[in-house]
């Protein structure tokens, strides 16, 4: 029997578990001021803790939101926003016990999927999470003017921190292009993940809003990092973009034009862009823009495979029968017949076998079936079956989340 218990935390344990999380990620203990900013968001609901003699030794936290799936529908999602085990308790099964409890809790709460951002890629596959969106890191070297034919008639204005905190939440809600992988940002997300950064580092983040013919339709959050030195006093700074969201191609081009026009900047760096960001195509000289990284973004866990598969749209192709294996949530095990008109459980022979983490990789359209088969994640499929899977699951735009939690 283990010498710790795993259970939902109480409100009285909120600050201790938040501190545990911050310390496990090697941050300083949160000051009273920082705690005051996050306390409202760090409620006990949805947070699983591990305790030894009443003391917190592990935390697996989540909040409820919605995920946009191919076709533009949404599913109920648990966003796992903080996982940590105290350093003197690691590798003794604490995370495994918390994940097990958390997944069953998600079933009870009716979440169709769960998702997280992983600090390391080795941790979450064993719990059924697969990489369902990927993100590009882009670097644009100045000068990088836009081509004359780019249509971007809108205007950009800078907001004060207070204006940004008051207006960006509703603007984000309005900017919804239906791209798979987007998540809704609930009220409790903003103080921890947005307002906090605007106040951090002496408040050097700037917020730019784009307005088109129908009003505000995009925003960017960025800050500038000096690169000059004693020996290189004239060197231009780096402009680092934290967020970039736009409702239309014109708004996106307008925001790129603004970010690339700020004076005294040598390079614009952006982490976490969709892999189909068109910035290189907007430029007179496309070689000014480089993709310098391609990383996993959202790790997705299908909690209710049937409901998740039924919620998304499919391309047109002959149906395919998937045999899904799920080690931790056995109700998901079985065969699913996926066709352009929907999904049903079936006893028919399977066209292929895959684990639930691999199904999550296909689910939003980030991966093609071929590489998944080549890497042994999909088994038993002919080349013709793989082509059918792609025709059914492929999406017109690359999935992307663009929200860190």
Ligand X SMILES: CC(C)(COP(=O)(O)OP(=O)(O)OC[C@H]1O[C@@H](n2cnc3c(N)ncnc32)[C@H](O)[C@@H]1OP(=O)(O)O)[C@@H](O)C(=O)NCCC(=O)NCCS
Q: Which residues fall in the annotated binding site for acetyl-CoA?
A: 83-85, 91-96, 119-120
Output the known binding site: 83-85, 91-96, 119-120
d(CA 401, CA 210) in angstroms, rounded, equals 20
Q: State yes or no: residue 56 binds ligand X (CB under 6 A).
A: no
Q: Which is nearer to ligand X, 12 or 122 (CB)?
A: 122
Q: Which of 4, 63, 106, 124 is catalytic?
A: 124
Q: State yes or no: residue 90 binds ligand X (CB under 6 A).
A: yes
- Interface pick for ligand X out of 72, 73, 93, 125 (rule CB under 6 A): 93
**Residue 386: which of 396, 378, 397 has the closest Cα?**
378
Q: State yes or no: residue 120 binds ligand X (CB under 6 A).
A: yes
End-to-end CA distance of the chain: 34
Q: Which is nearer to ligand X, 1 or 122 (CB)?
A: 122
d(CA 403, CA 384) in angstroms, rounded, equals 36
Q: Which is nearer to ligand X, 92 or 394 (CB)?
A: 92
d(CA 9, CA 24) in angstroms, rounded, equals 17
How many residues does this entry show for the chain? 405
Neighbour tally for 92: CB within 10 Å: 16
- Interface pick for ligand X out of 122, 233, 316, 376 (rule CB under 6 A): 122
Looking only at residues 67 through 86 of this chain, which bind ligand X when binding is defined by CB under 6 A? 83-85
- Residue by residue, DSSP assigns 312-376 as S---SS--EEEEEE-SS-GGG-EEEEEETTEEEEE-SPPSEEEEHHHHHHHHTT-S-HHHHHHTT
As given in the structure block, the two tokens for residue 379 are: 């088994």
- Interface pick for ligand X out of 118, 193, 237, 238 (rule CB under 6 A): 118
Stretch that binds ligand X, among 4-12, 115-123, 216-224, 243-251 (CB under 6 A): 115-123
Long-range interactions of 42-46: CB distance < 8 A, separation 24+: 42/14, 42/15, 42/17, 42/18, 42/192, 43/11, 43/14, 43/188, 44/8, 44/9, 44/10, 44/11, 44/13, 44/14, 45/8, 46/78
172 is an active site residue:
no
- Segment holding 266, helix H or strand E: strand 265-274
Tell me the closest approach of the beta carbon of residue 262 to ligand X, in angstroms: 33
- Residue by residue, DSSP assigns 193-227 as IIIHHHHSGGG--EEEEEEETTEEEEEEEEEEE--
Per-residue contact string for residues 3-42; x = within reach of ligand X by CB under 6 A = ---------------------xx-----------------
# chain residues binding ligand X, by CB under 6 A: 17
Per-residue contact string for residues 312-341; x = within reach of ligand X by CB under 6 A = ------------------------------
d(CA 236, CA 305) in angstroms, rounded, equals 51
Stretch that binds ligand X, among 38-46, 118-126, 170-178, 245-253 (CB under 6 A): 118-126
Q: Which is nearer to ligand X, 37 or 92 (CB)?
A: 92
Q: State yes or no: residue 94 binds ligand X (CB under 6 A).
A: yes
DSSP code, position 146: B
Q: State yes or no: residue 92 binds ligand X (CB under 6 A).
A: yes
- Interface pick for ligand X out of 10, 96, 228, 340 (rule CB under 6 A): 96
d(CA 46, CA 14) in angstroms, rounded, equals 11
Tell me the closest approach of the beta carbon of residue 84 to ligand X, in angstroms: 4
Q: Which is nearer to ligand X, 91 or 287 (CB)?
A: 91
405 is an active site residue:
yes
Per-residue contact string for residues 218-257; x = within reach of ligand X by CB under 6 A = ----------------------------------------
The answer to whether the CB of 66 falls within 8 A of the CB of 29 is no
Q: State yes or no: residue 88 binds ligand X (CB under 6 A).
A: no
Stretch that binds ligand X, among 88-96, 285-293, 352-360, 363-371 (CB under 6 A): 88-96
The answer to whether the CB of 385 falls within 8 A of the CB of 320 is yes
Stretch that binds ligand X, among 69-77, 114-122, 226-234, 241-249 (CB under 6 A): 114-122
Separation in Å, CA 121 to CA 329, 354, 402, 404: 21, 19, 19, 16
φ, ψ of residue 135 to 5 degrees: the values are: -130, 145
Active site residues: 124, 405
Contacts to ligand X by CB under 6 A: 24-25, 83-85, 90-96, 118-120, 122-123
């Amino acid at each position: 029997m283990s010498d710790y218990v795993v259970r939902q935390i109480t409100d009285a344990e909120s600050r201790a578990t938040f501190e545990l999380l911050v310390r496990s990620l090697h941050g300083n203990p949160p000051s009273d001021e920082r705690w005051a900013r996050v306390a409202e968001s760090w409620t006990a609901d949805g947070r699983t803790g591990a305790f030894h003699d009443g003391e917190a030794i592990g935390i697996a936290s989540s909040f409820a939101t919605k995920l946009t799936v191919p076709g533009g529908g949404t599913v109920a999602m648990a966003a796992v926003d903080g996982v940590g085990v105290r350093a003197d308790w690691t590798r003794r099964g604490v995370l495994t016990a918390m994940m097990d409890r958390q997944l069953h809790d998600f079933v009870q709460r009716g979440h169709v999927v769960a998702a997280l951002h992983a600090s390391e890629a080795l941790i979450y596959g064993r719990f059924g999470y697969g990489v369902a969106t990927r993100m590009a890191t882009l670097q644009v070297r100045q000068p990088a003017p836009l081509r004359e034919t780019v249509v971007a008639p809108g205007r950009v204005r800078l907001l004060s921190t207070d204006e940004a905190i008051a207006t960006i939440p509703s603007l984000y809600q309005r900017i919804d292009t239906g791209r798979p992988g987007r998540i809704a940002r609930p009220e409790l997300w903003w103080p921890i993940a947005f307002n906090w950064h605007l106040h951090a580092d002496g408040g050097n983040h700037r917020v730019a809003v784009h307005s088109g013919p129908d009003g505000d339709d995009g925003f960017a959050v960025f800050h500038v990092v000096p690169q000059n030195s004693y020996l290189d006093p004239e060197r231009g700074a780096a402009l680092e973009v934290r967020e970039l969201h736009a409702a239309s191609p014109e708004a996106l081009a307008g925001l790129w034009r603004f970010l690339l026009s700020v004076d005294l900047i040598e390079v614009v760096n952006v982490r976490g862009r969709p892999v189909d960001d068109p910035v290189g195509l907007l430029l007179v000289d496309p070689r000014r823009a480089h993709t310098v990284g391609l990383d996993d973004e959202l790790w997705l866990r299908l909690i209710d495979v049937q409901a998740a598969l039924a919620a998304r749209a499919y391309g047109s192709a002959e149906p395919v029968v998937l045999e899904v294996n799920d080690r931790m949530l056995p109700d998901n095990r079985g065969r699913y017949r996926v066709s352009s008109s929907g999904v049903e459980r079936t006893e028919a022979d399977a066209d292929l076998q895959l684990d639930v983490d691999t199904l999550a990789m296909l689910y939003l359209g980030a991966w093609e079936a071929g590489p998944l088969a080549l890497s042994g994640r999909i088994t038993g499929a002919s080349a013709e079956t793989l082509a059918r899977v792609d025709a059914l699951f492929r999406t017109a735009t690359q999935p992307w989340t663009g929200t860190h939690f």
